[in-house]
Chain A
Amino acid sequence: MKKKIRIVVARLGMDAHWRGSIVVARALRDAGMEVIYLGNQMPENIVATAIQEDADIVGLSTLSGNHMVLAPEVVRILREKGMDEVKVILGGTIPPDDIPRLKKKGIAEIFGPGTSLKKIIDSVSGYN
């Protein structure tokens, strides 16, 4: 039997919108994954949890506009800690111009407003 995918879901920084992250977290759980939901965290703590939980994926959510600063930091700290296998994905209100810049900084997938749950589940399942 295949090991269950483990995903840490966190809201970045001070962003106050939980609707998207909770709906996605529930959908991933319903799709059979192990979801560790963190609430608001800064990059250092998100990475610490990812290591402790032996996560395959880190899912970040933000609608506040802090993504250009904080999302690449998560990737950077993960890599510094030698967690090269852990993929970082991001959802929220991300302006289109920021998408290529974030991908360049190591964010594997970016899901904007209106993305279907199915697309997110398919994308996450593909990682295992």
Chain B
Amino acid sequence: MSRLFDNSVIEEIDREKNRWHKQVYQPAEGVEKVFETLSGIPVEPLYTPADTAGMDYLNDLGFPGEEPYVRGVHPTMYRGRTWTLRQLAGFGPPEETNMRYKFLLKEGATGINGVFDYPTLRGFDSTDPFARADAGRGGVAIDTIEDMRILFDGISIDKISSSLVTCQPICNITVQSMYFANAQMRNVPLDKLTGTSQNDFLMETVITVAPEILPPKFSFKLSCDAIEYCTKHVPRWNPISFAGYNYREAGCSAAQEVAFVIANATACSEELIRRGLDVDSFAPRLSFFLSAHSDFFEEIAKYRAARRIWFRIMKERFGAKDPRSLRLRFHVQTAGVALTAQQPLNNISRAAYHALSAVLGGAQSVHIDGYDEALCTPTELSSLTALRTNQILQLETRVTHTIDPLGGSYFVETLTNKVEEETLRLLDEIDGMGGIVKAGETGWIHKEISNSAYEYQQAIESGKMPIVGVNCYQMEEKELPMELFEVPETLQIQEQKLKKIRNERNGAQVQDALDAVAQCCEKDGNLMEVIVEAVKTRATQGEISGALRSSYGTWEPPLF
């Protein structure tokens, strides 16, 4: 046992605290006010050793790089290697995004973070009638392997790690395959590739639903196919990044965000073990993507709690032995939903506070939002300002010098325990429903998230949650203090390329490849094995996704 305090000392502190609260604090407070975190956890005026008296230091906190990893996943944390500066980028045709990637790398970004447009994420070609107004919006348009070649042209994919924000498994299974096939065509062996894909079935079926989505169990299958493929062929790739960030953006509380990513990761682990893989063969490459929202201390507590919960599940439930399986590694994006369209330059300071919480919580890589993101895709200036904010945090503030600097704070430790407690309660509830896939199918997750989103909006509405520039300190704004981004012409460019490719390619070969995809669905084989080959025939993303939709059918999410 490594209790932090002696029982008799704790009793004395507790007694004294009660005295202070009654005799000193309350008379000074006047009218009693209610304080709580953004997710509704009550917050006391002061925390003392009495609040953390039940904790066992070695068991509950430990040391960086050691179990239970609460204080950090690496032994040296930022003293050894600072977080990756991974600024999100993607818009228009791949020719344009390739230039933005190169610009960010030249300015000191240390990894690529590529986002895809709405049609690509949903598995539609730019020329699909449903996609006609959305090509190039929200990300880069990818229709064939030729677009992937252009996107990474002149970028050393054997040296630079690429995060591909292929949110939906239906997108990932093809776009990721294009990335791998393109690497093979550039003579870069798959085992040299480093990076991450998002590949999260909740993104497809709950969070960013769009037309013609696959039923949850098939979307989940595609996600597991990609993990299995990477475990066997692309060992340094993180084949999934559980997208808690996006769950949070849709409305989740902090505990829901952690509970849903962990329930998802648990379900994937169970499925891969069922397929015959050893937990330590894939678990080291499961990665997480979390939000940095506005409640500074709650966010720090959230990251720390997530690490402890994941460690215990991996160790106790799955019997993982490789220390890398036990470490929850995560990328952070600052909360887009917390940005305001009003007085947009205020978003620079907002996002900086958000990023600071991510770093004090031990993130492995951080994207800071552009100040214009409540209005448009970030301009070059707003992307650069965000990158510089990240660099200032990393180089000037010296927060990197000590590991887990808030560890031992009575408040942060208490909050970590509270977030953990609520997360475990939700995990139990999900287990009781038969797991996360079932919880998606029944609409339970949709309902949970939409209830939280509604409460959040009501809190802004009532003024209980002040948002500067929105419900307080509003200003009459005649003109925006900046330029807005215009998405470059995309549809025409993609249309021309597709037309040329359709003329040039071998139609019979393409048909064989699509038949192979359909047969693989029927046989319940691993689809990535087949699709990595299919994309080489220059079959389009829409054609391959169409084959998946014909085999699996589509699903209407129970949203309202």
Between A17, A18, A42, A118, the greatest number of chain B beta carbons within 10 A of the residue's beta carbon is seen for: A18
Specify which of A14, A26, A97, A117 is in contact with B134 (CB 8 Å cutoff).
Answer: A14
Specify which of B134, B340, B454, B480 is in contact with A66 (CB 8 Å cutoff).
Answer: B134
Interface positions of B from 441 to 472, Cβ below 8 Å from A: 450, 453-454, 457-458, 460-461, 467, 469-471
Also in contact, A64 and B137, with CB within 8 A (given A14-B122, A95-B484, A97-B484): yes
Interface positions of A from 73 to 90, Cβ below 8 Å from B: none
Specify which of B124, B211, B454 is in contact with A39 (CB 8 Å cutoff).
Answer: B211
CA distance A22 to B208 in the complex (A): 12
B340 touches A113 (CB 8 A): yes
CA distance A108 to B30 in the complex (A): 49
B556 within 8 A of A: yes
Taken residue by residue from 108 to 147, chain B's Cβ proximity to chain A (1 for < 8 Å, 0 otherwise) reads as 0000000000110110100001111110011000000000
| Residues in B neighbouring A69, C-beta threshold 8 A | 132-133
CA distance A18 to B204 in the complex (A): 12
B560 within 8 A of A: yes
A26 touches B209 (CB 8 A): no
Q: Give the Cβ gap from A1 to chain B, nearest Cβ, in Å.
A: 25
Specify which of A18, A39, A42 is in contact with B130 (CB 8 Å cutoff).
Answer: A42
A37 touches B249 (CB 8 A): no
CA distance A19 to B249 in the complex (A): 8
CA distance A97 to B483 in the complex (A): 11
One of B158-166, B324-332, B373-381 at the interface: B373-381
Also in contact, A65 and B450, with CB within 8 A (given A15-B118, A39-B211, A39-B559): no
CA distance A117 to B249 in the complex (A): 19
CA distance A100 to B130 in the complex (A): 26
Size of A's binding interface in residues, CB under 8 A: 34
Also in contact, A117 and B340, with CB within 8 A (given A17-B208, A26-B450, A39-B211): no
A65 touches B377 (CB 8 A): yes
| Residues in A neighbouring B341, C-beta threshold 8 A | 93, 112-114
CA distance A40 to B375 in the complex (A): 21
Q: Give the Cβ gap from B375 to chain A, nearest Cβ, in Å.
A: 6
Q: Give the Cβ gap from B125 to chain A, nearest Cβ, in Å.
A: 12
Q: Which residue of B lies closest to A43 (CB)?
A: B133
A126 within 8 A of B: no
Interface positions of B from 201 to 231, Cβ below 8 Å from A: 208-211
Also in contact, A64 and B484, with CB within 8 A (given A26-B450, A95-B376, A114-B341): no
Between B454, B480, B560, the greatest number of chain A beta carbons within 10 A of the residue's beta carbon is seen for: B560
B132 touches A40 (CB 8 A): no
A16 touches B129 (CB 8 A): no
| Residues in B neighbouring A26, C-beta threshold 8 A | 450, 454, 560
Q: Give the Cβ gap from B413 to chain A, nearest Cβ, in Å.
A: 32
A70 within 8 A of B: yes
B342 within 8 A of A: yes
| Residues in B neighbouring A16, C-beta threshold 8 A | 118, 121-122, 138, 208-210
Q: Give the Cβ gap from B219 to chain A, nearest Cβ, in Å.
A: 14
Q: Give the Cβ gap from B237 to chain A, nearest Cβ, in Å.
A: 25
Specify which of A40, A70, A114 is in contact with B340 (CB 8 Å cutoff).
Answer: A114
Between A12, A41, A42, A64, the greatest number of chain B beta carbons within 10 A of the residue's beta carbon is seen for: A64
Specify which of B121, B122, B453 is in contact with A19 (CB 8 Å cutoff).
Answer: B453
A42 touches B210 (CB 8 A): no
Specify which of A13, A17, A37, A117 is in contact with B457 (CB 8 Å cutoff).
Answer: A117
| Residues in B neighbouring A27, C-beta threshold 8 A | 454, 457
| Residues in A neighbouring B377, C-beta threshold 8 A | 65
B105 within 8 A of A: no
CA distance A14 to B137 in the complex (A): 10
Taken residue by residue from 20 to 62, chain A's Cβ proximity to chain B (1 for < 8 Å, 0 otherwise) reads as 0011011100000001010111100000000000000000000
| Residues in A neighbouring B251, C-beta threshold 8 A | 19
B250 within 8 A of A: yes
Between B118, B122, B377, the greatest number of chain A beta carbons within 10 A of the residue's beta carbon is seen for: B118
Also in contact, A18 and B470, with CB within 8 A (given A97-B484, A113-B374): no
Q: Which residue of A lies closest to B484 (CB)?
A: A95
Q: Give the Cβ gap from A47 to chain B, nearest Cβ, in Å.
A: 16
B487 within 8 A of A: yes
| Residues in B neighbouring A41, C-beta threshold 8 A | 211
Specify which of B209, B342, B487 is in contact with A114 (CB 8 Å cutoff).
Answer: B342
A128 within 8 A of B: no
Also in contact, A25 and B133, with CB within 8 A (given A15-B118, A95-B376): no
| Residues in A neighbouring B470, C-beta threshold 8 A | 114
Also in contact, A39 and B450, with CB within 8 A (given A64-B134, A93-B375, A114-B470): no
Q: Which residue of A lies closest to B118 (CB)?
A: A14
CA distance A117 to B557 in the complex (A): 25
Q: Give the Cβ gap from A95 to chain B, nearest Cβ, in Å.
A: 5
| Residues in A neighbouring B41, C-beta threshold 8 A | none
B209 touches A39 (CB 8 A): yes
Interface positions of B from 327 to 346, Cβ below 8 Å from A: 337, 340-342
Q: Give the Cβ gap from B249 to chain A, nearest Cβ, in Å.
A: 7
A42 touches B461 (CB 8 A): no
B450 touches A70 (CB 8 A): no
Specify which of B121, B461, B487, B559 is in contact with A117 (CB 8 Å cutoff).
Answer: B461
A13 touches B208 (CB 8 A): no
CA distance A118 to B462 in the complex (A): 10
Q: List 23 A-B contacts (CB under 8 A).
A: A14-B124, A14-B131, A17-B208, A18-B208, A19-B251, A22-B559, A23-B454, A27-B457, A35-B560, A39-B556, A39-B557, A40-B211, A41-B211, A65-B134, A65-B376, A69-B132, A93-B374, A96-B480, A114-B340, A114-B342, A116-B471, A117-B457, A118-B461
Closest 3 pairs (CB-CB, A-B): A16-B208, A66-B133, A37-B560
Q: A27-B457, A95-B484 are in contact. List 20 more A-B contacts (CB 8 A).
A: A13-B130, A13-B133, A14-B122, A14-B124, A16-B210, A19-B249, A19-B251, A23-B450, A26-B560, A39-B556, A40-B211, A41-B211, A65-B134, A65-B137, A66-B133, A69-B133, A93-B341, A95-B375, A113-B341, A114-B341
Q: A residues bordering B, Cβ < 8 Å?
A: 12-19, 22-23, 25-27, 35, 37, 39-42, 64-66, 69-70, 93, 95-97, 112-114, 116-118
